[in-house]
């Protein structure tokens, strides 16, 4: 046989083999389904139907979202859509931190109201639970594709669920309160939250075409996403659009700005842009970069005024975020009215053991015991012994000196407050509490259970996130347990399964908390003395 003929046969066989065993399927007439606005076409990967960048709403700048304009034909939905413009675009990164997080920054556009769907099937008549993911990044940054852990394929495949993730307006575009300048701007203070509601309305109207159940929707989010979950729980017009909630490391904001402050911020923005009140509509045409600079100036001016008047500056500093506008959000987040509104919705809430402390205390990772004690004495000069005793009681298996220093006290206290209040509602739905304490081995273990570390486990995405998790056997075992709890909670409002010890509901008296670690275990008010000491 001639050499060229032999090579052609081998090439043909290889091509046939690739086609026969292909893991991705695409085509003009493949994975096509309907939405209210028109047909969309996705692709199939590992038997999961995937759709990216579907418009769920549209809006002019500082205007409420409306349904997207219909399109003719079939819209390709194969890649992620635009992300919201950022106040501070990334121009450099910290090498080790970026290694573990492995961001995908995407491309920006103010027309960013897009969602993504992963589903096992679109035509089998099933109504699957919907897991509706809201990304982190505070209220100013982030996107549905930002972290590799956010990919919904493995979760959809494992749980026979539909996973949805969204982009929405952020920062000044989502939260500038122009309500003092005309009726058309009356909802402008909370447009970002209205975007999320619009996405949930899209799910209600369209998700059956993707194999999902519009009457069984769980919203879940982490960090800023968890805070957005809390905000939706306090939003009367969103009631009925979701049926379970999980808040991961998102209870850091327990209160919102009032209209007095948000309207003052808007006034300072106009001043920074040299616009008179009767010129407010000109703000629609201001380039985003200029608008962003004006917003930063305004926030600083108002923050300084609030401090001078003795008013608390919420969270980590005055920043963009939802506010009690009396229109979209009539109640403070942790008010009795807000908790009553979400009384019948099961809640899971938790944090990671270390959150941001590995970044704050990186220089102390290799501290000696003496160095650690010196730091503790400076921070708690009259409570040093009590602090050491409380840490030992809370975390008796810790051995490194740095373990004394990098326990999170920023996120967990708010989670405990939320769990206490939610579980105290008479006749209310169940509350569950967790703490993610698994320690990553990556980079000699210095990042520990850092902020976002639980996400690869929740989404069952260890292989996608080896830089963060190390990709070892223990990580896969824990991911199987955690993702199953999230799936079960989405299905029934109860996270229990055979792979975990019995997970009792939370109440303030017992403080039942599931520790997710190489050995998962239940503890009761393990750190009550420690939280009392540091508050």
Domain boundary, last residue among 297, 313, 345? 345
Task: Report how far residue 18's alpha carbon sits from residue 480's, in angstroms, rounded to the nearest whole number.
Answer: 30
Say yes or no: 300 and 388 in one domain.
no
Residue 422 above 70 pLDDT? Answer: yes
Task: Report how far residue 491's alpha carbon sits from residue 335's, in angstroms, rounded to the nearest whole number.
Answer: 28
Say if 418 falls within a structural domain. no
Say yes or no: 270 and 391 in one domain.
no
Residues 6+ apart with CB under 8 A from 406: 354, 357, 358, 360, 361, 364, 448
Q: Which residue has the tokens 């940054």?
A: 141
3-state secondary structure string across 511-533: CEEEEECCCCEEEECCCHHHHHH
Residue 20 above 60 pLDDT? Answer: no
Average pLDDT rounded to a whole number, residues 183-196:
98
Task: Report how far residue 135's alpha carbon sits from residue 48's, in angstroms, rounded to the nearest whole number.
Answer: 22
Task: Report how far residue 305's alpha carbon sits from residue 414's, in angstroms, rounded to the nearest whole number.
Answer: 26
Average pLDDT in the chain: 93
pLDDT (tens digit, 9 = 90+) per residue, 153-176?
999 999 999 999 999 999 999 999
Residue 337 above 60 pLDDT? Answer: yes
* Catalytic residue positions, numbered: 223, 355, 451
Average pLDDT rounded to a whole number, residues 32-57:
98
pLDDT (tens digit, 9 = 90+) per residue, 290-301?
999 999 999 999
The predicted pLDDT at position 123 comes to 86
The better pLDDT of the pair 523, 2 is held by 523
What are the start-end ranges of the E strands in 162-312? 162-166, 212-222, 244-248, 257-258
Provide the whole-model pTM: 0.94
Say yes or no: 456 and 331 in one domain.
no
Q: How many domains does the chain have?
A: 2
Task: Report how far residue 512's alpha carbon sits from residue 523's, in angstroms, rounded to the nearest whole number.
Answer: 6
Residue 441 above 50 pLDDT? Answer: yes
**Strand pairing report for 512-516 and 162-166:** unpaired
Say yes or no: 249 and 161 in one domain.
yes
For residues 511-531, one letter each, b for 16 or more C-beta atoms within 10 angstroms of the residue's C-beta and e for the rest, the string is bbbbbbbeebeebeebbebbb
| DSSP assignment string, 319-343 | -S--EE-SSS--S-TTSHHHHHHTT
Say if 14 falls within a structural domain. no
Give the range of the structural domain holding residue 494, as residue numbers without chain letter. Answer: 365-411+426-534
Residue 10 above 50 pLDDT? Answer: no
Run of H or E including 49: strand 48-55
Residue 516 above 90 pLDDT? Answer: yes
Q: Are 115 and 199 in contact (CB under 8 A)?
A: yes
Task: Report how far residue 65's alpha carbon sits from residue 192's, in angstroms, rounded to the nearest whole number.
Answer: 9
Residues 6+ apart with CB under 8 A from 175: 139, 189, 190, 191, 192, 262, 320, 321, 322, 323
The predicted pLDDT at position 362 comes to 55
SS3 of 471, please?
A: coil
Computed on alpha carbons and rounded to an integer, the radius of gyration of the chain in Å comes to 24
pLDDT (tens digit, 9 = 90+) per residue, 261-290?
999 999 999 999 999 999 999 999 999 999
Average pLDDT rounded to a whole number, residues 75-86:
97
Q: Which residue has the tokens 């309305």?
A: 201
pLDDT (tens digit, 9 = 90+) per residue, 28-44?
999 999 999 999 999 99
The better pLDDT of the pair 378, 88 is held by 378
Say yes or no: 369 and 328 in one domain.
no
Residue 90 — very low, low, confident or very high, per pLDDT cuts 50/70/90?
Answer: confident
Residue 364 above 80 pLDDT? Answer: no
3-state secondary structure string across 132-198: EEECCCCCCCCCCCCCHHHCCHHHHHHHCCEEEEECCCCHHHHHCCCHHHCHHHCCHHHHHHHHHHH
Say yes or no: 174 and 323 in one domain.
yes
Say yes or no: 84 and 231 in one domain.
yes
Say if 2 falls within a structural domain. no
Say if 119 falls within a structural domain. yes
Residue 363 — very low, low, confident or very high, per pLDDT cuts 50/70/90?
Answer: low
Say yes or no: 327 and 223 in one domain.
yes
pLDDT (tens digit, 9 = 90+) per residue, 211-227?
999 999 999 999 999 99
């Amino acid at each position: 046989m001639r050499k060229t003929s032999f090579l052609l046969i081998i090439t043909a066989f290889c091509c046939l083999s690739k086609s026969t065993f292909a893991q991705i399927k695409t085509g003009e007439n493949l994975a096509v389904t309907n939405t209210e606005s028109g047909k969309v076409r996705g692709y199939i990967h590992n038997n999961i139907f995937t759709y990216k960048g579907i418009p769920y709403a549209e809006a002019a700048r500082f205007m409420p979202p409306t349904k997207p304009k219909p399109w003719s034909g079939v819209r390709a939905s194969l890649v992620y859509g635009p992300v919201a413009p950022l106040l501070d675009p990334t121009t450099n990164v910290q090498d080790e931190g970026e290694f573990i997080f492995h961001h995908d920054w995407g491309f920006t556009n103010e027309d960013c109201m897009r969602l993504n769907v992963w589903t096992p099937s679109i035509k089998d008549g099933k109504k699957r639970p919907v897991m509706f993911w809201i990304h982190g990044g505070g209220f100013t940054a982030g996107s549905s594709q930002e972290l590799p852990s956010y990919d919904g394929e493995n979760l959809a495949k494992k749980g026979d669920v539909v996973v949805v993730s969204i982009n929405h307006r952020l920062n000044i575009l989502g939260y500038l309160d122009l309500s003092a300048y005309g009726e058309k701007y009356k909802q402008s203070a909370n447009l970002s939250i209205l975007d999320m509601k619009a996405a949930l309305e899209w799910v209600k109207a369209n998700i059956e075409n993707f194999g999902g159940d519009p009457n069984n929707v769980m919203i879940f989010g982490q960090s800023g996403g968890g805070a957005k979950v809390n905000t939706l729980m306090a939003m009367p017009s969103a009631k009925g659009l979701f049926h379970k909630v999980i808040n991961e490391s998102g209870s850091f904001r327990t209160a919102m700005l009032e209209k007095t402050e948000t309207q003052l911020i808007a006034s300072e923005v106009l001043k920074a842009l040299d616009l008179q009140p009767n010129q407010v509509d000109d703000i629609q045409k201001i380039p985003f970069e200029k608008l962003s600079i004006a917003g930063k100036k305004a926030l600083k001016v108002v923050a300084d005024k609030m401090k001078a008047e003795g008013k608390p500056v919420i969270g980590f500093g005055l920043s963009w975020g939802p506010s009690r506008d009396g229109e979209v959000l009539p109640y403070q987040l942790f008010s009795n009215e807000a908790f009553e509104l979400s009384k019948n919705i099961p809640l899971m809430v938790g944090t990671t053991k270390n959150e941001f402390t590995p970044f704050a205390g990186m220089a102390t990772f290799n501290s000696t015991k003496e160095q650690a004690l010196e730091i503790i004495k400076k921070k708690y000069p009259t409570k040093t012994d009590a602090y050491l005793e409380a840490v030992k009681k809370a975390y008796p298996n810790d051995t490194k000196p740095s373990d004394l220093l990098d326990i999170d006290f920023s996120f967990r206290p708010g989670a405990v407050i939320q769990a206490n209040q939610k579980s105290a509602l008479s006749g209310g739905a169940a509350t569950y509490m967790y703490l993610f304490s698994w320690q990553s081995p990556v980079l000699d273990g210095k990042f520990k259970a850092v902020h976002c570390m639980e996400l690869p486990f929740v989404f069952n995405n260890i292989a996608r996130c080896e830089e963060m998790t190390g990709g070892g056997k223990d990580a896969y075992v824990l991911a199987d347990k955690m993702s199953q709890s999230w799936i079960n909670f989405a299905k029934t409002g109860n996270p229990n399964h055979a792979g975990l010890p019995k997970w009792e509901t939370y109440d303030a008296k017992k403080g039942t908390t599931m520790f997710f670690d190489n050995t998962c275990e239940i503890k009761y008010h393990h750190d009550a003395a420690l939280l009392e000491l540091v508050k």
